[in-house]
Amino acid sequence: MTRKPSKQSDATPAAQVAHLMGEMTEVALAGQVVGLKILAAKMEALSQVMPVLVGAEPQADAEGRTDAEIEADFDNMPV
C-alpha cells in the first residue's frame, strides 16, 4: 500500500472521509491476510510434527455400518 499524494484541502469533507475509509479497509484486509498466513504456517509446522497413524483413515463405505456402529465412534460424553 502506497500513499498517493493528493490535495486534501480541495476535497470536500465527505470525500476526505470516503478516502480515509478506503485506506482503513485496505489496512484491515492486509492485517487479516497476515493473520491467515501465520495460521497457515502454524498448521503446516504442526502437520510436520504430529505423528501419522497408519490405518486411522476414515472408512469410505459408511453405508455398510449400522447406526449403532457409527454412534460408537463418536465421543458422547455429556457436557
Tens-place pLDDT, residues 28-70 = 999 999 999 999 999 999 988 887 766 655 555 556 778 888 7
Q: How far apart are CA 4 and CA 2, in angstroms?
A: 6
Tens-place pLDDT, residues 13-31 = 999 999 999 999 999 999 9
Report the predicted TM-score, pTM, of the whole model to 2 decimal places. 0.43
- Cell 510434527, residue located: 49
Q: How far apart are CA 55 and CA 25, in angstroms?
A: 47
Query: 47, 56, 1, 7: which is closest to 26 by C-alpha?
Result: 1
Q: How far apart are CA 39 and CA 20, in angstroms?
A: 29
Q: How far apart are CA 15 and CA 6, in angstroms?
A: 12
The contacts of residue 65 (CB under 8 Å, 6+ apart) are: 59
